[in-house]
Amino acid sequence: MHLYRHQQIKVMHGFTLLELLVVMVIIGLLAAYVGPKYFSQVGKSEIKMAQAQIDSLEKALHQYRLDVGNYPATESGLAALVTRPNNESKWQGPYLTKMPPADPWGHAYIYKYPGERSEFDLYSHGKDGQPGGEGEAADITNW
C-alpha cells in the first residue's frame, strides 16, 4: 500500500507542457482583446484630465482678473496665480493652492495674454507636445 501512494503522488506532480502552452495561449488572446480597449481608455482619461485642468486654471484666471482688473501678463504666466507679481497691488491671491500642474503628458500649459483666439489663450499641445495633431496628439485649448 505504501508503494501505491508514492506512485499516485508522482502522477499528480506538476503540469504538462501542453497544459502550460494552452494556458499561455488563452492569456495571450485575452491580453490581445482587452489591452487595446484598456489603453484607449487611458488616452481618453488623459484628455479629460487636461480639459479639467484647463477649466480650473481658467476659473482662477477669471478670479485674478476680477481682483486686479486684467489677466496676468504672459511674462508672469500662471505663476501669478500663486505668487504676487511685483507690480500688482490689488492682488488678493493666491488663486491656486500650489503651482499649476503640468499637463497629463508632463508638458507645461501654455498661457498667452492677450490671446490670439480669446481674451487669453491657455492650451496644451497634447501627448506629442507639438502644435496641431489629432486624437491624443490634438491640442487641448480654452477656446
Bond from prior residue into 131 cis (ω within 30 degrees of 0): no
pTM: 0.67
> What pLDDT, on a 0 to 100 scale, did the predictor assign at position 28?
85
CATH of the domain at 74: 3.30.700.10
**Distance separating alpha carbons of residues 80 and 110, to the nearest angstrom:** 14
Helix (H, G, I), strand (E, B) or coil at 34: helix
> What pLDDT, on a 0 to 100 scale, did the predictor assign at position 1?
54
Could you tell me the residue range of the domain that residue 51 belongs to?
46-143
CA distances (Å), origin 33, targets 1, 58, 136: 50, 39, 21
Question: Quick one: pLDDT band at residue 4, thresholds 50, 70, 90?
Answer: low
Question: Which residue, among 49, 48, 84, has the nearest Cα to 64 in the 3D structure?
Answer: 84
Confidence check: pLDDT of 73 > 80: yes
pLDDT tens-digit series, residues 76-85: 899 999 999 8
The number of domains in the chain is 1
> What pLDDT, on a 0 to 100 scale, did the predictor assign at position 94?
92
E strand or H helix at 112, and its extent? strand 110-112
The reply to whether 38 falls in a domain is: no
Question: Which residue, among 113, 51, 57, has the nearest Cα to 81 in the 3D structure?
Answer: 57
| 117 alpha-carbon distance from chain centroid | 24
CA distances (Å), origin 37, targets 41, 48, 128: 6, 17, 21
**Distance separating alpha carbons of residues 140 and 56, to the nearest angstrom:** 14
The reply to whether 5 falls in a domain is: no
The reply to whether 60 falls in a domain is: yes
Residues 6+ apart with CB under 8 A from 74: 111, 112, 113
pLDDT tens-digit series, residues 29-52: 888 877 777 666 666 788 899 999
The reply to whether 103 falls in a domain is: yes
CA distances (Å), origin 99, targets 52, 77, 130: 16, 11, 23
